[in-house]
Amino acid sequence: MMPLLNDQPVNPFVMFSIVDQNQHFVVINKHHGVSVQKEADEAALLPAVAAYIGVEKVYLVHRLDKMTSGLLLLATSSHAASVLSGLFASREIEKFYLALSAKKPRKKQGLIVGDMGKGRRGSWKLLASKDNPARTRFISIAGGEGRRFFLCRPYTGKTHQIRVAMKSIGSPLIGELSGQALLESYRRVIGTGTFDYF
């Protein structure tokens, strides 16, 4: 029987799947297209996770953009949230992103640094200024069929930071990987030893 939220059954397969869980936190795989913060006509992710795992509330420790799938760490108490947030702040917990582009970058690896600003049509772009810059380290490898895989490590937490960084080096992202495609891409990148770069 599925748990209920507001007298409605919670179907996690639409929004997330559980990856790991203990008394202090739960790690979910947030699906592509799911907002971390509730939007007007969408089910709320955090209450759905809490209902599914049978706790009163889960606490957000970090965020993922709506269009980004991936692991999301949620605390099960305010104390755990404070401890985990501190580990992110001190960089004892690090975040990495796997991205895909159809365009070869101007350079295969490096550090992208710059302020982010709104463009003419409302999209974000990287600026030459560095007053409050986004900082993203990346490395890329050939992905076959004209594609490039990027392993990205953001040192800051700006909205859309990875997308803006990749676009700034001539490699706009082409979408999200999920399921088996994500797993195979991850294995391929890990097999190259690219984590040694970071």
User: Active-site residue numbers?
Assistant: 65
102 phi/psi in degrees, rounded to 5: -95, 0
Q: Which residue has 């392993």 as its token pair?
A: 151
Return the residue matching tokens 């869980």. Answer: 21
Please report the sign of the dihedral spanned by the C-alpha atoms of residue 161, residue 45, residue 70, residue 178.
Answer: negative
Cα 125–Cα 16–Cα 198 angle in degrees, nearest 5: 50
Instruction: Round to whole Å and give the CA distance between 124 and 52.
Output: 35
CB neighbours of 184 closer than 8 A, spacing ≥ 6? none
Tokens of 154: 């953001």
CA distances from 126 to 130, 147, 168, 179, 193 (A): 10, 23, 6, 31, 29
Q: What is the DSSP letter of 137?
A: E
| Single-letter amino acid, residue 66 | K
